[in-house]
Amino acid sequence: MEQDIYGYSLCAALTLMIFFGAYFIFSGEPDKPVFRNYIRSRRIMGSALLVLSTNYMVHLLLQPRFTAPDAAILMNLSSYYISAWLFSSALTSLLDRHYLTRRKFTLHIISWLCFTATAGAVMILFPSGKSNTVGIIALTLWFLIYAFNLASRLIRKYRKAVRLFDETQSDDIGAYIRWLSVFTWWAVIYGVGCGLFTFIPEKYVFIWILSSIPFYIYLFCSYMNYMLSYERVETALETEEMPETTRQNQPAYFAEIEKRLTEWTGKDGYTRPGLTIGELAGTLGTNRTYLADYIKSVYHVTFREWIADLRIEYAKKMMSEHPEMTVGAISEASGFLSLSYFSRIFTETEGASPAKWKRSKIW
């Protein structure tokens, strides 16, 4: 009965993984050149899923978990090792198109080969006993340290991208890549869980297998949804790769920026949807680095937060002067591209939803 449940769970997970992996690799490509990096990332992720599918296939057909459990553990660790790098490379390259280089690829492949060779040596030289257990534990720690290093690097890239968006974009573009952080932390928890489940009794292994199903469904749905917003994210990243104008060493220049900003805000320029700090700098006749320094020094917030505050004040004015307007219309008139983002920021700022705040002013 235990083997039946184990086999059924493997079949369920394996079917999804093969479909997702094949779809990522072979599905049609968007025509626009901007999606080239997204397609590369998706193919790398598809390769990772097919590597893990191969692992599941071996378990399903040969069932080494029941016939040679130590060999199964070592095979799992080797599969997880290369898959962790593929997962990390696929996601990191979404935020840094220059991340995956030939040298980096070669180093990680060599690292994986060394890990696999060590696992093979442990299996051959120490087929059982205390030495075998020590070898497996050491390899597990090696894998966990490697995986945590990859995950921490990805999280740092993600946080750097969010800071960049907040400092240069008026809209909450960071929301489009939040799934990268969620998936990374989920992958870390799942990876540690896999390491622990590797050592549990055979009758509970199906829990580990079934737990992978929502994990991979979330990954697939996130990748597909991300394609809708990828162009905006990639465009923002490309803009910030452009060389910046030399920073001016003239603190007195802040006074000129203040004068021009006052004129600009007086004309409600911040209500233009999709505004970026580069575009505003061009309008003011300055460079974006100096403008960003001014905003940080004077307002102590990021560009996105500063624009959001201006738009919230404008929205409050609109709701007071035009009670007949809907919240959606006010959000759009204020420059917000997303009603949900407007509602969230408004609630955080005013302590009440836009609709509730509007009713309080009418009555």
State the CB neighbour count (10 A cutoff) for residue 8.
13
Last residue of a domain, one of 283, 300, 317: 300
Give the amino acid at 23: Y
pLDDT at residue number 8 = 85
Read off the pLDDT of residues 103-126 as tens digits, 9 standing for 90 and up. 999 999 999 999 999 999 998 888
**Exposed e or buried b per residue across 314-345, where buried means at least 16 C-beta atoms within 10 angstroms of its C-beta:** bbbebbeeeeebebeebbbbbbbeebeebbeb
Q: Please say whether the beta carbons of 35 and 230 come within 8 A.
A: yes
Closest CA to 90 of 154, 44, 46: 44
Sign of CA dihedral 193, 195, 199, 202: positive
Write out the two tokens for 256.
């000129």
CA distance 120 to 150: 24
Reduced to 3 DSSP states, what percent helix, strand and coil does the chain have, rounded to the nearest 5?
80, 0, 15
% of residues, the chain, pLDDT over 90: 55
User: For 20-35, what is each residue's pLDDT tens digit?
Assistant: 999 999 987 777 788 8
Q: Within this chain, do residues 357 and 252 fall inside the same structural domain, yes or no?
A: no
50 with 85, same domain? yes
pLDDT in tens, 46-96: 999 999 999 989 988 888 877 888 888 888 889 999 999 999 999 999 999
Read off the pLDDT of each residue in 312-323 and give the average, rounded to a whole number.
92
- pLDDT of 162-201, one tens digit each? 999 999 999 999 999 999 999 999 888 877 766 665 666 6
- Most confident by average pLDDT, 2-6, 128-132, 261-265: 261-265
Q: What pLDDT shows up at residue 202?
A: 65
User: Looking at residue 1, what is its pLDDT?
Assistant: 43
On whether both 155 and 167 belong to a single domain, the answer is: yes
- Are residue 185 and residue 112 in the same domain, yes or no? yes
**In terms of residue numbers, what domain contains 74?**
2-241
Q: 339-363 pLDDT, tens per residue?
A: 999 999 999 999 999 999 988 876 5
Residues 142 and 282 in one domain: no
287 and 350 share one domain: no
